[in-house]
Chains A and B, each alone.
Chain A
Amino acid sequence: MARLPITKTPKFYVGGAFIRSESARVFPLRDSDGVFFANIPQCTRKDLRNAVEAAAKAGPGWAKRTAYNRGQILYRLAEMIEARSDEMSAAIGLGGSTPAAAAREVAAAVDRLIYYAGWTDKYEQVLGNVNPVAAPYFNFTVTEPMGIIGVIAPDKAPLLALISLVVPAISSGNTVVALASTTQPYPAILLGEMLATSDLPGGVVNLLTGFREEMIPTFATHMHLRAISAVVNANERKMLALGSAESVKRTILLKSEDKRDWFATAAQSVDAIRDTLEFKTTWHPVGA
């Protein structure tokens, strides 16, 4: 008799731990043929708040890492995904992608990580500068991470889009609380496992699974999220903008109705890093 395989219970990744929703809710994930695959945690706003707390704890330490160190850790994450690319391709394939298309998405996600790993110790030289003020002061503008960034990933390109939103934010020292694709959450579950073995400190990236309509209102109004980077429809944009007004939160809202090629080189840029940075200018007298 054939051996019955052990199936994995998907858990989401918060604060460096794999957990179930505090609500104990799950929703069934079926593959593109309708066959049951697993139960996915259906996170609540309480789970989101806990994730923000984890991100807040990890934030100062991560931001203080050297840029070189952050680059090496992102590179290590790329190594972890590359080594398990077959498994990740299969996870993407659950959503109906052909094996070739799924493998292409994993490869692109790895390359995207490499791209941002290289930026960590360079963007400052490109975005900041010394300002020639008309007085005896040494005046310079540097960038700083904003803090905790809320990410809402689209359903399309469930791994590549998630990576493309999360990685520019963390490359500068931000921490992230991300909501994975609702229809294709499994690549994010798997990504959590790869993050856990990548040297990235727990809490820097927190990946939630669940329903957008349940989670977005809390993303919108949570006071400790300093920015939202999201791919969202018109209603969601309005809700996020309204909630963000309450704490003057920054919003980087990409339209889900726009055609967007996540594979293109245009989908990666130093500007995406800049979107979750603050500019700080310091004046220092020049004199004896």
Chain B
Amino acid sequence: MPTASVAKKSYRAPQRVTNRVGRRAPELIFGDLWAFDPAPESADPKLKARYDLFINGKFVAPKGGKYFDSINPANERKLAEIALAGLADVDAAYAAAQRAADGVWGKMPGRERAKYLYRIARLLQDRAREFAVAETLDGGKPIKESRDFDVPMAAAHFFYHAGWADKLEYVAPGRRVAPLGVVGQVIPWNFPLLMCAWKLAPALAMGNTVVLKPAETTSITALKLAEIFQDAGLPPGVVNFVTGAGDVGAAMMKHPTPAKIAFTGSTEVGKIIMRSLAGSDKKMTMELGGKAANIIFDDAPLDQAVEGIVNGIFFNQGHVCCAGSRLLVQEGIAEKVLAKLKTRIRTLRVGDPLDKNTDIGAINSREQLTKIRALVAAGVKEGCAIFQPECALPPSGFYFRPTIFSGVSMSSRVAREEIFGPVLSILTFRTVDEAIEKANNTAYGLSAGVWTDKGSRILKLSTELKAGVVWANTYNKFDPASPFGGYKESGFGREGGRQGLLDYCKLI
């Protein structure tokens, strides 16, 4: 009977995965069947044994004479000693910045400031590979990311903002702009060099001078950048680096000199800073945490979406404030997406960050690894289904397997708290409205992703999602021309683009 044979045929169709003998063909996992040879990047990072503070154009020893170790999170070995700044050093840095603001940088014509920034961009491009290796050694991120993303993007930020320095009358229509003066900046450990460029370039283009503190676990590339500032002939005091932990940052924030404080870091610390600045007249930019929804509709190109999901959460070990850590999948395709994701993450290579084939490097610090483990344990305890691929981890160093939680509910901690690690939580939805409601049901609002074939739906979602950046059929894309920053508890102010410059000037 024809109907029966049709039914039989359509039933047999999925059986094509069997081989001629009738057994199921083995699933081909790329890299499973043969071993990769190590492919370490061998460029010399040209590290110094000891890094001093960079104040007034010179490397100077901290007045307290103390140093702390910066280790390589990939093997826990010491890389260099970093100066521990004290209050007197913070004072000296601000004094130098104030002198530079009053004496040279604030008065310099924009076209001349531009040339310094162009020089810095060029010198950084010259030494790109060296910086990439240093970044990977210090922070644990895969060399392919530091080489192809962090360093070129840092150079691009200087290059982009250089061109603004003599065109500032176009920043705020109808208004003239003036620099704020001295700016204090504190940056995180997830993109040490890039955050440095991201913060410095607009501030300098606008004519401000800066005291910046890198994160204590990742100070090296900032101090290498100081070498470039010396080579570029940047006037002393225009940029000053003080190094140390949170107490140094707190001293920087409370200092009377800066007219503005710019901070990138956790929402928790951002709130502490906001409280500490209450009653002062300092301007602020806060780029804080996130718990982004990456929304996959059933008409999305699934293979492309899976790549986007993987990039969205496993890029930089998930140490990304805008990481797509909440995956919202339309119910009808949830199983399929989960299956594809499981297959895909089995091919991710976790290990030596310096290896060019590594996808997921080392977790930045033991402290962060402990946090990730605790939140993952909480997810398991709350009854979420966990999946981690089998993969060997290096014997020393801080590593964590890519992790997927499915069957996650909105109230689960792994759906609400920023994990800042390679951990994806999967939730489902049925309708567009439900997707929007779930995506917006968070205190954060930094970014979101939308995957669908329907253009009008993308525009609806991008209008309704309460997030500062929306990626449609892509994820984790950045550009110096593209403003970045959050809604709600993800902070305020923008970085990048014309809008980012607004946060570094006063209108007159």
The yes or no verdict on A and B being binding partners is yes
* A residues whose Cβ falls under 8 Å from a Cβ of B: 126-127, 129, 131-135, 137, 139, 141, 144, 146, 226, 234, 237-238, 241-242, 244-248, 250, 269-271, 278-285
**B507 contact from A129, A245, A271, A282, Cβ within 8 A:** A271
* B residues whose Cβ falls under 8 Å from a Cβ of A: 156, 172-175, 267, 270-272, 274-275, 277-279, 286, 288, 443, 458, 462-463, 467-474, 477, 479, 481-485, 487-492, 494, 497-499, 507
Q: How far is the CA of A282 from the CA of B479 in the complex (A)?
A: 12
* Residue of A with least CB distance to B304: A285
B407 to chain A, nearest CB (A): 30
A248 to chain B, nearest CB (A): 4
Q: How far is the CA of A283 from the CA of B476 in the complex (A)?
A: 10
B474 and A285 contact, CB distance less than 8 A: yes
The 7 A-B residue pairs whose C-beta atoms are closest, nearest first, are A238-B279, A241-B278, A245-B274, A133-B479, A242-B278, A131-B481, A248-B489
* Residue of A with least CB distance to B277: A241
Q: How far is the CA of A245 from the CA of B286 in the complex (A)?
A: 11
Between-chain CB contacts (< 8 Å), 25 pairs: A127-B499, A129-B497, A133-B479, A133-B482, A146-B487, A237-B278, A241-B275, A241-B277, A245-B272, A246-B271, A248-B271, A269-B175, A270-B173, A278-B487, A279-B468, A280-B468, A281-B468, A281-B484, A281-B497, A283-B470, A283-B471, A283-B472, A283-B482, A284-B472, A285-B472
Q: Which residues of A are found within 8 Å of B278, using beta-carbon distances?
A: 237-238, 241-242, 245
Q: Which residues of B are found within 8 Å of A131, using beta-carbon distances?
A: 479, 481-483, 497
A60 to chain B, nearest CB (A): 9
**B279 contact from A234, A247, A278, Cβ within 8 A:** A234
Q: How far is the CA of A269 from the CA of B172 in the complex (A)?
A: 11
B474 and A280 contact, CB distance less than 8 A: no
A141 and B488 contact, CB distance less than 8 A: no
**A241 contact from B274, B468, B479, B494, Cβ within 8 A:** B274
**A139 contact from B277, B479, B491, Cβ within 8 A:** B479
Q: Which residues of B are found within 8 Å of A137, using beta-carbon distances?
A: 474, 477
A134 and B479 contact, CB distance less than 8 A: yes
Q: How far is the CA of A21 from the CA of B50 in the complex (A)?
A: 67
A141 and B497 contact, CB distance less than 8 A: yes
B287 to chain A, nearest CB (A): 11
**A242 contact from B275, B443, B471, B479, Cβ within 8 A:** B275
B267 and A248 contact, CB distance less than 8 A: yes
A65 to chain B, nearest CB (A): 14
B286 and A248 contact, CB distance less than 8 A: yes
B175 to chain A, nearest CB (A): 7
Q: How far is the CA of A137 from the CA of B473 in the complex (A)?
A: 10
A280 and B470 contact, CB distance less than 8 A: yes
Q: Which residues of B are found within 8 Å of A282, using beta-carbon distances?
A: 462, 469-472
**B469 contact from A226, A237, A241, A280, Cβ within 8 A:** A280
Q: How far is the CA of A126 from the CA of B469 in the complex (A)?
A: 20
A281 and B474 contact, CB distance less than 8 A: no
B450 to chain A, nearest CB (A): 9
B483 and A269 contact, CB distance less than 8 A: no
Q: Which residues of B are found within 8 Å of A242, using beta-carbon distances?
A: 275, 278-279
Q: Which residues of B are found within 8 Å of A283, using beta-carbon distances?
A: 469-472, 474, 477, 482
B470 and A281 contact, CB distance less than 8 A: yes
**B473 contact from A129, A269, A281, A284, Cβ within 8 A:** A284
